[in-house]
Structure 1
Amino acid sequence: MSTSGSTSEKRPPVILCIGMAGSGKTTFMQRLNAHLHAKKQPPYILNLDPAVGALPFTANIDIRDTVNYKEVMKQYNLGPNGGILTALNLFTTKFDQVLGFVEKRAPTLDYILVDTPGQIEIFTWSASGAIITDTMAATYPTMIAYIIDTPRTAAPATFMSNMLYACSILYKTKVPFILVFNKTDVKSHDFAVEWMTDFEAFQEALQKDKSYMSSLMNSMSLVLDEFYAHLKVVGVSAVTGAGMDDFLKAVDEAVVEYDQEYKPELERVLEERRQKKEAEKEEQMARLMKDMAMEEKGKEVKFGEGNKGKSLNEDEDEEDEDKREPRYRDDLDSDDEDEEAHRTAQDEHRERMEEESLKRYLSGQRQG
């Protein structure tokens, strides 16, 4: 049972099913859904493939109910891949609402399954795919089930290509990773497990290939040796249902890995971001206080100049105003020349008073 703590704290694992086109990803989802229903553990299913014609299972949340893939292609003049990517981007803008629906049902769930677009790069290398993965992983134990077409991987070159792609996804997402070799009813996945655990066995398979690629794959197999050690490998058949219990065991192991490795790292990164934001806030506040102090200092200087001049000449200014005001009123009906002369006299008087005030202020500053 995939729980953590009490029922109120239950965190169902999120399984992101990713795979190349034709790997049997949707069929695997159907079989896993049926297997969990048989165990009385019905999963909560999210479909993120807007281009799928018909799903062989019922999705609780379906991107097709929100975004019309064909209308997106028509409106934005896009091709199939561009339409899928744009539809996924539009859906991601409302993913907080999706997360809200999941949170309401989480206490009653044991598993959350997410079906992704068949064009694998649209989900794994897009901003929307990263947002969905990180958002889920921040709340629930999240893992990736990478579905592989076993019969098509029998050739060393194809096998190595799949492993490199899996390595790149693991490096990008950093969440627990499960390699699911599908279609084992057609071809057993034992050869793949042997190639991953026995370097010499893979070398023997490479010797049959005389192309220039053999030396490259030989070098890459050495690099990927450590990568293989961190992978959980299971073989399943989506047609017969074989290996589903092994897959669920791998899911339980991935939950433990999430709690022991991914979650502490996530908390460390979040704490670093929080401290960085706090430092930025403090720095901005310090700059603001410094700017305000400089502005206040400038205002005090200007305010002091005006006040000192006014206080020293307050009586004289009032007397002059009392003397000037009646005379100014008497001269309202005078001609233009007298009025201009009167204004000039006022201006000259103000300039003299300001000059005297400034001299007194500077003298006071020197004495201080």
Structure 2
Amino acid sequence: MGKYAQLVIGPAGCGKSTYCNHLYEHCQAIRRSVHVVNLDPAAESFSYPCSLDIRDLVSLEDVMEELSLGPNGGLLYCMEYLEENLHDWLGEELEGYGEEDYLVFDCPGQIELYNHLSVFRSFVDFLKNDGWSVCVVYCLDAHFITDVAKFMAGALQALAAMVKLELPHVNILTKVDLLEDKRHLEDFLFPDPALLLPQLAASTGPRFRQLNGAMAGLLDEFSLVAFLPLDITDEDSIADILGQIDLAIQYGEDAEPRLRDEALGEGADDDDDGGDGGADI
């Protein structure tokens, strides 16, 4: 088997750390090894065991104090410092991981890091050059579907990250369990701009009609943005998401059938002769 990683990104407060914790607990339950890495220099605490921590290299609190920077400027400095030290710090830290290891990177929530700056493109290029198969997991708060304008903005942010990072990409609507009304959820999992455009026009006014049409046309032209729902009260929800990510990065595809079953957490019968027992995901 190879080396695999998830890069968990998305706006601040969208549930990235909750997803990482739920994924970790699910993998523990199915006896699958996973290591969660904190890449947020402003993080204060974790609900999951943290295998690697960027704060061992640089922390936002120290940067703000020593350089008299605000939170946003300090975070940008921290991430640029990470970019400069990818080989020296991250390279050394990853030397302890090899074949059959699976890393989940819990990233900060400033979207400009993914859409405008070079730091995460340099980061994923470093991982790929080191032999890691990487999937981006973009988290968007399901509350966005209650306002079609916010949802369109979130979908365009996801599209920008897909274009910028050029990696296998899985988009997730988080906090679905907190939605009071799920009747229209399916309309946003596979968004059809032609159906959403009238709602967008009604909520933004006539002077934005041309802009709304251009945004809808952009999503329709690429036809790349779709979402998977994450309901942390439903174990099948995280299992379905993990299955899609495994498929995107071909996790376990190069293993023997019995080993592949074990890697996917499905086990194998004692009398299995190692034939075509691979999981269908």
Is 1:251 matched up with 2:242? Answer: no
How far apart, CA to CA, are the structure 2 residues paired with 1:59 and 1:191?
A: 36
Once the two structures are overlaid, the 10-residue window that deviates more, 84-93 or 28-37, is 84-93
Is 1:82 matched up with 2:66? Answer: no
How far apart, CA to CA, are the structure 2 residues paired with 1:125 and 1:222?
A: 22
| Pick aligned residue for 2:156 from 143, 161, 164 | 164
Aligned partner of residue 74 in structure 1, secondary structure: helix
Larger radius of gyration: 1
Bigger helix fraction: 1
How far apart, CA to CA, are the structure 2 residues paired with 1:100 and 1:71?
A: 23
How far apart, CA to CA, are the structure 2 residues paired with 1:232 and 1:112?
A: 24
| Pick aligned residue for 2:217 from 207, 222, 232 | 222
* CA deviation profile, 1:72-98 (whole Å, cap 9, x unmatched): 112212111111222222233332242
Return the offset for 1:193.
Answer: 2.4
Q: Size of the alignment, in residue pairs? A: 245
In the alignment, which residue of structure 2 is the partner of 1:184? 176
* CA deviation profile, 1:293-312 (whole Å, cap 9, x unmatched): xxxxxxxxxxxxxxxxxxxx
How far apart, CA to CA, are the structure 2 residues paired with 1:69 and 1:201?
A: 43
The residue correspondences of 1:191-230 to structure 2 (distance < 5 A) are 191-194=187-190, 196=191, 198-206=192-200, 208-209=202-203, 211=205, 212-228=207-223, 230=224
* CA deviation profile, 1:310-340 (whole Å, cap 9, x unmatched): xxxxxxxxxxxxxxxxxxxxxxxxxxxxxxx
Amino acid at match of 2:110: Q
In the alignment, which residue of structure 2 is the partner of 1:30? 21
In the alignment, which residue of structure 2 is the partner of 1:102? 94
Question: Structure 2: 5+ residue runs without aligned partners?
Answer: 254-281
Residues 199 and 128 of structure 1: is their aligned pair in 2 closer, same or farther, counting only changes over 3 Å? closer
Are 2:7 and 2:107, in contact at CA under 8 Å, matched by a contact in 1? yes
RCO higher in 1 or 2 (8 Å CA, sep ≥ 6)?
Answer: 2
Amino acid at match of 1:190: E
How far apart, CA to CA, are the structure 1 residues paired with 2:72 and 2:214?
A: 33
Residues 150 and 237 of structure 1: is their aligned pair in 2 closer, same or farther, counting only changes over 3 Å? same
Aligned partner of residue 13 in structure 1, secondary structure: strand
Return the offset for 1:167.
Answer: 1.5
| Pick aligned residue for 2:137 from 138, 145, 150 | 145
Are 1:232 and 1:250, in contact at CA under 8 Å, matched by a contact in 2? no
TM-score, length-normalised on structure 2?
A: 0.78
Are 2:189 and 2:229, in contact at CA under 8 Å, matched by a contact in 1? no
Question: Structure 1: 5+ residue runs without aligned partners?
Answer: 1-9, 260-368
Aligned partner of residue 166 in structure 1, secondary structure: helix
Are 1:13 and 1:255, in contact at CA under 8 Å, matched by a contact in 2? yes
Residues 124 and 115 of structure 1: is their aligned pair in 2 closer, same or farther, counting only changes over 3 Å? farther
How far apart, CA to CA, are the structure 2 residues paired with 1:240 and 1:155?
A: 25
Are 2:60 and 2:78, in contact at CA under 8 Å, matched by a contact in 1? yes
Return the offset for 1:118.
Answer: 1.9
Amino acid at match of 1:112: L
Amino acid at match of 1:37: Q
Are 1:206 and 1:218, in contact at CA under 8 Å, matched by a contact in 2? no
Q: Percent identity?
A: 25
In the alignment, which residue of structure 1 is the partner of 2:10? 19
Are 2:41 and 2:75, in contact at CA under 8 Å, matched by a contact in 1? yes
Are 2:189 and 2:228, in contact at CA under 8 Å, matched by a contact in 1? no
Amino acid at match of 2:84: T
Return the offset for 1:234.
Answer: 1.0
Once the two structures are overlaid, the 10-residue window that deviates more, 117-126 or 133-142, is 117-126
Return the offset for 1:255.
Answer: 1.3
Is 1:68 matched up with 2:59? Answer: yes
Return the offset for 1:32.
Answer: 0.9
Amino acid at match of 1:63: I
How far apart, CA to CA, are the structure 2 residues paired with 1:255 and 1:21?
A: 26
In the alignment, which residue of structure 2 is the partner of 1:136? 127
Bigger strand fraction: 2
How far apart, CA to CA, are the structure 2 residues paired with 1:239 and 1:64?
A: 31
How far apart, CA to CA, are the structure 1 residues paired with 2:221 and 2:27?
A: 33
Backbone CA RMSD of aligned residues = 2.4
